[in-house]
C-alpha cells in the first residue's frame, strides 16, 4: 500500500454525516452567500484565535491581498517577508501593487530571521509580513519591536499555523491583521477553497468587508475599487463543524511529531526544532539531509511519497526575479531548499504507516552511510 504525505479520505469517512448535514442545512436555508454560517464562523474563529473580528474570504491568497490593501499598503510600498514560503505569500504582495523585500531564514527553524529585519527597512518599507511556516510562529516580539520602531504595519501569514501559539498567544492575534487559508491540506481545511482575515481594528474590518464585496457597503454602489472575494456559506458551514475538532487535530499532529522525534532520533536526519516559547502545530514535519534527492527516490521505490516545501526559493524564480533577487542572496534559504523534505503528517495517519515510513527511512539512511 502506498503512503502519501497527506490524505483526507479517512477523516472524511469519520466526519461525513456532520459534513452532509452542514451542506444540506445551507442548501435548504435559502441563503447561499454571506449568510449566518459565514457570520458565525467569523465570530467563532476570531474568538478562538483571540481577535475581535474575522472577515471570511474566498482563499488564503486573496486574504493576504485584501489585508494588505485594508492596511493601506499599495503601489510602490515595500513589504519585508521571506523567500522560503509558499508562492502566494509573495504573489499577494505583488498583486497589492507592493514590492517584496526578502530576509533570510533561521537555519534551525526555517522561519524569518528577525535579526535581519532592521537592516532591510528602507524609507519605502510599510509592512512586515512574517510567515508562521510549517505550523510554527515567528518570534512576534522581535517583529513587533522593529515595526514599532519604524512605524510599520504587521500582517501575519497564518495559512499553515491554525492553533499554533507564541508565548501563549495564538497565531493571528499578534499583529495589525492576520491571514488564514482553509485550503483542504491545511490544519483547518475545507473541501475546496476558503480564507479569513483576522483583526481587532474596526477600520480594517470595515475596509475588508467592502473590499471582498466589489467595494460596496450596500448593494450596487461602489465606495471604492473592490473585488469579489467572499467565503461562501457551504464552506463556512463545513468549517464551523471542523472548528470544533481543531484542538484535536492539533494534538494528534503533536503526537505524530513526537513519535517521529523518537523513532528517528538516531537516524542521521536533522529533525524539526521547536523554537523556545512556541507551541508548534506541525502543519508539516520537515526533516533535512544533504542527500535528500537520493532518499526521496528510494522512498518512492518503497511506495512512500513525501514532499518538498519548498524546492525553489521565490527570490530566484523567473516570476519574481524582476525584484532583483539572485542566487547567493539568502544562503540559509537556498541551502535549505536543496536539503529539506516533509514526512507524512495528517491527523488520520495510521500508526503502522508512520512506523513503516521510519523503518524504510532508517534502512535507506544506513545504506547511504
Ligand X SMILES: Cc1ncc(COP(=O)(O)O)c(C=O)c1O
| Positions that interact with ligand X (CB under 6 A) | 59-61, 85-86, 88-89, 131, 157, 159-160, 181, 183, 193, 195
Shortest Å, Cβ 193 to ligand X: 6
Q: Which residue is nearest to ligand X (CB)?
A: 60
Shortest Å, Cβ 178 to ligand X: 11
Alpha-carbon span 227 to 103, nearest angstrom: 30
Q: Find out whether 208 and 62 touch, Cβ atoms under 8 Å.
A: no
Nearest to ligand X of 192, 215 (CB atom):
192
Alpha carbons within 13 angstroms on the beta-carbon side of residue 334 total 11
From 221, 150, 178, select the one nearest 57 (Cα to Cα): 178
Nearest to ligand X of 186, 298 (CB atom):
186
Nearest to ligand X of 111, 269 (CB atom):
111
Shortest Å, Cβ 155 to ligand X: 11
Q: What is the distance, to the nearest Å, from the Cα of residue 133 to the centroid of all Cα atoms in its chain?
A: 6
Nearest to ligand X of 38, 361 (CB atom):
38
Q: Find out whether 197 and 54 touch, Cβ atoms under 8 Å.
A: yes
Q: Find out whether 281 and 251 touch, Cβ atoms under 8 Å.
A: no
Shortest Å, Cβ 231 to ligand X: 11
Alpha-carbon span 320 to 90, nearest angstrom: 8
Find the angle CA(121)-CA(311)-CA(88) to the nearest 5 degrees. Answer: 55
The greatest distance separating any two alpha carbons of the chain, rounded to the nearest whole angstrom, comes to: 68
Alpha-carbon span 247 to 227, nearest angstrom: 33
Q: What is the distance, to the nearest Å, from the Cα of residue 127 to the centroid of all Cα atoms in its chain?
A: 18
Nearest to ligand X of 136, 173 (CB atom):
136
Instruction: State the angle between helix axes of 9-29 and 233-243 in degrees (0 to 180), rounded to the nearest 10.
Output: 130
Shortest Å, Cβ 267 to ligand X: 27
Shortest Å, Cβ 194 to ligand X: 7
Nearest to ligand X of 41, 264 (CB atom):
41
Shortest Å, Cβ 131 to ligand X: 5
Nearest to ligand X of 144, 181 (CB atom):
181
How many separate helices (H) and strands (E) can be counted in the chain? 12, 14
Alpha-carbon span 282 to 293, nearest angstrom: 23
Amino acid at each position: 500500500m502506498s503512503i502519501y504525505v497527506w490524505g483526507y479520505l479517512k477523516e472524511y469517512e469519520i466526519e461525513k454525516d456532520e459534513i452532509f448535514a452542514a451542506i444540506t442545512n445551507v442548501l435548504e436555508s435559502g441563503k447561499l452567500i454571506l449568510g449566518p454560517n459565514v457570520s458565525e464562523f467569523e465570530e467563532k474563529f476570531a474568538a478562538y484565535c483571540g481577535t475581535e473580528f474575522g472577515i471570511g474570504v474566498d482563499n488564503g491568497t486573496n486574504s493576504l491581498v485584501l489585508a494588505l490593501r485594508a492596511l493601506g499598503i499599495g503601489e510602490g510600498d515595500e513589504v519585508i517577508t521571506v523567500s522560503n514560503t509558499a508562492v502566494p505569500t509573495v504573489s499577494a504582495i505583488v498583486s497589492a501593487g507592493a514590492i517584496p523585500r526578502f530576509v533570510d531564514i533561521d537555519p534551525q527553524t526555517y522561519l524569518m530571521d528577525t535579526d535581519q529585519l532592521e537592516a532591510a527597512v528602507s524609507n519605502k518599507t510599510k509592512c512586515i509580513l512574517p510567515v508562521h511556516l510549517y505550523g510554527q510562529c515567528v518570534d512576534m516580539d522581535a517583529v513587533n519591536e522593529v515595526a514599532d520602531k519604524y512605524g510599520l504595519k504587521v500582517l501575519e501569514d497564518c495559512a499553515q499555523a491554525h492553533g499554533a501559539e507564541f508565548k501563549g498567544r495564538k497565531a493571528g492575534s499578534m499583529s495589525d491583521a492576520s491571514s488564514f487559508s482553509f485550503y483542504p491540506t491545511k490544519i483547518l481545511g475545507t473541501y475546496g477553497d476558503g480564507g479569513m482575515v483576522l483583526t481587532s481594528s474596526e477600520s480594517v474590518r470595515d475596509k475588508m468587508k467592502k473590499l471582498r464585496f466589489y467595494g460596496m457597503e450596500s448593494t450596487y454602489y461602489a465606495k471604492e475599487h473592490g473585488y469579489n472575494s467572499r467565503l461562501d456559506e457551504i464552506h463556512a458551514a463545513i468549517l464551523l463543524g471542523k472548528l470544533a475538532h481543531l484542538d484535536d487535530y492539533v494534538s494528534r499532529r503533536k503526537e505524530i511529531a513526537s513519535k517521529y522525534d523518537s523513532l528517528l532520533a538516531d537516524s542521521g536526519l536533522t529533525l524539526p526544532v521547536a523554537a523556545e516559547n512556541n507551541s508548534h502545530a506541525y502543519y508539516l514535519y520537515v526533516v533535512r539531509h544533504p542527500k535528500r534527492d537520493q532518499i526521496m527516490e528510494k522512498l518512492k521505490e518503497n511506495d512512500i511519497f513525501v514532499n518538498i516545501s519548498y524546492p525553489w526559493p521565490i527570490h530566484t524564480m523567473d516570476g519574481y526575479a524582476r525584484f532583483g533577487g539572485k542566487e547567493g542572496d539568502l544562503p540559509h534559504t537556498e541551502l535549505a531548499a536543496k536539503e529539506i523534505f516533509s514526512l507524512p503528517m495528517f491527523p488520520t495517519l495510521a500508526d503502522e504507516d508512520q512506523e513503516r515510513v521510519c523503518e524504510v527511512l532508517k534502512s535507506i539512511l544506513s545504506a547511504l552511510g
